[in-house]
Amino acid sequence: MGKKRKNPERVEHYDEAPPKKRPLTNPLPEGVHHYQDIEEVPWDIQKYWHQGYSIFSKYDDGIWMTDDSWYEVTHESVANTIAQHMAEAAPEGKSIIFDIMCGVGGNTIAFALSGKWKRVYAIEKDAATLACAKHNAEIYGVADRITWFQGDCFEILGLDESKKGNTVEALKAIAGSYGVIFASPPWGGPGYREAEVFDLEAMQPYPFSHLYESLQKLTPNVVLYLPRTSDLRQIAKVVGEDKKTQIVHYCTKGSSRALCAYLGDWGSLRLGDL
């Protein structure tokens, strides 16, 4: 178990376990946890538990997580930097951001905190994961800036032609006129680390080409959060070598954690150290 922090509100991120125990007043939804001691944590995610404050600096305030989200969530410092880059480089006239696979809310919260967007639309398929995201946004004080949707993002955004309706049509119109899209798709679990060069067409359940071609029907302005070892040749081939694509690695403590592909009409990114 990690040692206690003396001044947690002044520290941006820690690679240590959240140690503080406090009573939980209400039963959590099924599949949702707020682990307070490493003995509670399943063995296969204990190494992520030791990065608790790096993931959410407000973990002690009652952050909710699912077990899968410990290795899926974007660490807070990285999420904040991505949000800053997207705010600074957003194409002119774009004021709405869609986080279409929002997980437990790491990126969604950062987008809301950035102050750039008139509204953040967050979509998550899994009910327990979405419950975590909503709760975590409350902890960070940004829940009133976010509109939540539960369901398959392709259905909610009308990319599945079998799904139609007023809400679907309204979201498609907003995305086309005012929106940009951020997606942190599943990579297929922690096994992606074993690949020296990651095959983006092997991502499950959404290969890179499927994501790109689908989202382009809504807006050309898309940011995809991908494994750090992603095959950049595949990105160039799918997007088209004649189109501008910016690739940015996001690092913590000198090591790349992941990369983002900025696709579309983004301005030149001003980069610095995390």
Confidence category of residue 22, pLDDT binned at 50, 70, 90: low
Of residues 83, 44, 67, the one with CA closest to residue 274: 83
d(CA 2, CA 80): 24
Domain span at 241: 76-263
d(CA 25, CA 22): 9
CATH of the domain at 212: 3.40.50.150
**4 within some domain:** no
Work out whether the CA dihedral 12, 15, 20, 24 comes out positive or negative: positive
**239 within some domain:** yes
**251 within some domain:** yes
Phi, psi at 197, each rounded to 5°: -130, 120
**47 within some domain:** no
Q: Name beta bridge partners: 9.
A: none
Q: What is the pTM of this model?
A: 0.89
N residues, the chain? 274
**CA distances from residue 56 to 36, 52, 180, 185, 188 in whole angstroms, order as listed:** 14, 6, 25, 20, 23
How many domains does the chain fold into?
Answer: 1
> Within its chain, how far is the Cα of 236 from the centroid?
23
214-221 mean pLDDT:
96
| pLDDT tens column, 181-210 | 999 999 875 555 666 899 999 898 999 999
